[in-house]
Structure 1
Amino acid sequence: MKLHITNGDCTGEMLNDSPHITGEVLCWRDLLHDGPVQSLPYDTYVSTRTTYLMALLERGEYSGDINEQAIMADFMARKEVLDRIAQYDEVVLWFEHDLYDQLQLIEICHRLLASDVALPPLSLICINHHPEVPFFHGLGNLTLEMMNDLFHQRTSLSRAQVDRAASLWPLLTAPSPEPLAVMAQKEIPGWPFMADALRRFCLEYPSLETGLTLTQTYLLLTLLKAPDELPALAHHLTGAEQSGRLPGGVSAEQRYYEILTGPARFKRIFHHLQALEVAPFMGDLSVRYELNRLLHAATPYIAKRLVNNEAVYSLTTAGAEALQMRRQWQSVNTMDLWRGGVHITSDQCWLWDQRNACFCIET
């Protein structure tokens, strides 16, 4: 039996629905670009990640039924599958090119080697585009037929490739970001998208100029100026109209211009952020979380008001000054966030110097 490891539920559901791709599916549900990712005994690691993910759900205004017990159970079920990895005749990894997925691949390779059992043959499916998908954001954009074609095109993953990805885990979980920054400047053999992802990860540290991450800067830019166009959104809405998923009487074109030219509501901000990113990696929950970081700071960089019971966002004076590089976050707000094993605080503030491609620290 084959084991398919995927980047989340959407791809996992598609694999389970496929009549041609058989085997067990393991969805790797974690966003390793934020929150503590440390080298810890597994039970402690699970507890730390669970605490962070619960905070993400709360601050990201999650309205579903996931709770702490469910998150911990998912981590333990993942370990149970890897503990019996030798029973599978092949393990197939289904991933994409973006930061979210590439960090997951690092952890998966680390966990596979840490299982201390003989590994079955490993295969990899990892793409950054598809010729039949105009706006590729992930495997979830594909059809079952496309997924089946990818399965037949999978490539073998060598032990050297697994070792190379796993060797990045100690750098990701280290209390200093400097070794990872050095690695990000190199191409990583066998992993064509990894270096770009690590360089993007460096940009999720506060910048030397403003103390803002690149995501935070992009969010402020979405509020500074409305987008001229959002072609990926137009394409998505056209597909929704054709499949009958739009409310009755609303055309794709009408809905598109409502979002594009209307107030800065969440949907417009989200799609504008996706357009600014070279390789989008954040889902709506993470984007809401980042918006709320800017909104609820001691000196807020954005403001929110309700219009027809829906949130509309705008820049504050402080946010506008930050975009002009006239204000640094850490001069007016507390710095407290994690990137991998690095705890960035007001007392030990790691900053990314993009011009020199290196980190510096303020204490």
Structure 2
Amino acid sequence: MKTLHILNGDATLFVFKQTKIEGDILVWREILADGPVSKTNLWELRSDWISKTFGENPANYQQKVITEAEKLNHLDKYDEVTLWFEYDLTCQINLIYILSAINYRKDNSISLICPETIEGMPNFRGLGELNPMQLKKLISQKVKLQKADLELANKAWDLYIENDVEQIKDFLTQDFRNLPLLKKALKAHLLRFPNPSTQLNHIEELLLILSNSGISSKAELYNAFWAQENIYGLTDLQLDHILTRLKERKLITKELF
């Protein structure tokens, strides 16, 4: 049986290679939960935004992201697709895009490995933290997805693009079947809409509170943020971008090193 493993990033890839698990690999390197998305011209839109926001070279983006993602167009040669993802918003939005791009076939097994917790790791944040034995043991948690799960993911992706608060709230009232962590992630996403009274979202408000609490370094600030809100899966590069916006609005004036 020929299997494609879709991994959520290079940190997972590093550990996965050591497990000797058989199969081909697709490494997902996009962060669709951050920045603009669209039903059309998605990769052109993303390449432009990633390049301007994070200083990525468009040629590198093509090679590292788009070329890998194009493997989704050739799933017919696999008997099984196994997705290795995490509980946070970043992973869940990537996941629903990928599932929306997969055409369901009864003779093609689509499975998900997506732990929320790991025994013995109270501060578990991601698959890349695991050792090869821990990662390999997760195969026993593999859940086979059904057509209804892919349809739910496709609807969630459409709603994420439309970005309508009330529609997302309505969507959250249904049974999320084999994608229960998506519900938690979308609830966190709703907190990214601006508070009408402050015009700041939950992430911005928390960063402001933390920066005014006596914290004097970015490392300390980011660790304090992750301790409270690991649900977002934000990297230090993404937090840098948010801090820059807050500084441009003169909401943060002190320098953090």
Task: Compute the TM-score of the two structures, normalised by the length of structure 1.
Answer: 0.66
* Secondary structure at 1:282 match in 2: coil
The aligned residue for residue 5 of structure 2 is: 4
The aligned residue for residue 248 of structure 2 is: 296
Find the aligned partners of 1:175 and 1:144 in 2 and give their Cα distance: 38
**Which deviates more, 195-204 or 156-165?**
156-165
**Kept in 1: contact 2:3–2:79 (CA 8 A):** yes
Displacement, 1:205?
1.3
Call closer, same or farther: CA 1:117–1:46 in 2, change over 3 Å.
farther
**Number of residue pairs matched by the alignment:** 256
Displacement, 1:69?
1.1
**Kept in 2: contact 1:86–1:119 (CA 8 A):** no
The aligned residue for residue 255 of structure 1 is: none
User: Structure 2 stretches of 5 or more lacking a match?
Assistant: none
The equivalences for 1:1-363 within 5 A come to 1-19=2-20, 21-40=21-40, 44-58=41-55, 66-113=56-103, 120-174=108-162, 176-226=164-214, 264-277=216-229, 279-297=231-249, 300-305=250-255, 311-312=256-257
* Secondary structure at 2:193 match in 1: coil
Larger fraction in helix: 2
**Kept in 1: contact 2:125–2:230 (CA 8 A):** no
**Kept in 1: contact 2:188–2:231 (CA 8 A):** no
Higher Cα radius of gyration = 1
Per-residue CA deviation, residues 4-30 of structure 1 (Å, 9 max, x unaligned), is 1121111122112222x1222212112
Find the aligned partners of 1:50 and 1:184 in 2 and give their Cα distance: 30
Find the aligned partners of 1:195 and 1:86 in 2 and give their Cα distance: 30
Displacement, 1:175?
5.9
Find the aligned partners of 1:105 and 1:127 in 2 and give their Cα distance: 14
Find the aligned partners of 1:179 and 1:156 in 2 and give their Cα distance: 28
Find the aligned partners of 1:80 and 1:32 in 2 and give their Cα distance: 16
* Secondary structure at 1:96 match in 2: coil
**Which deviates more, 144-153 or 169-178?**
169-178
Call closer, same or farther: CA 1:203–1:185 in 2, change over 3 Å.
farther
Find the aligned partners of 1:134 and 1:122 in 2 and give their Cα distance: 29
User: Structure 1 stretches of 5 or more lacking a match?
Assistant: 59-65, 227-262, 306-310, 313-363
Per-residue CA deviation, residues 56-110 of structure 1 (Å, 9 max, x unaligned), is 314xxxxxxx411111233432343111101112111111111111111110111
Per-residue CA deviation, residues 216-242 of structure 1 (Å, 9 max, x unaligned), is 11111111214xxxxxxxxxxxxxxxx
Q: Which amino acid aligns with 1:95?
A: F
Find the aligned partners of 2:205 and 2:9 in 1 and give their Cα distance: 27
Displacement, 1:117?
7.4
The aligned residue for residue 335 of structure 1 is: none
Larger fraction in strand: 1
* Secondary structure at 1:35 match in 2: coil
Displacement, 1:178?
3.1
Find the aligned partners of 1:16 and 1:118 in 2 and give their Cα distance: 29
Q: Which amino acid aligns with 2:239?
A: V
* Secondary structure at 2:85 match in 1: strand
Displacement, 1:33?
2.1
Task: Compute the TM-score of the two structures, normalised by the length of structure 2.
Answer: 0.92
Give the alignment's Cα RMSD to 1 decimal.
2.0
**Kept in 2: contact 1:8–1:29 (CA 8 A):** yes
Call closer, same or farther: CA 1:144–1:201 in 2, change over 3 Å.
same
Q: Which amino acid aligns with 1:13?
A: F
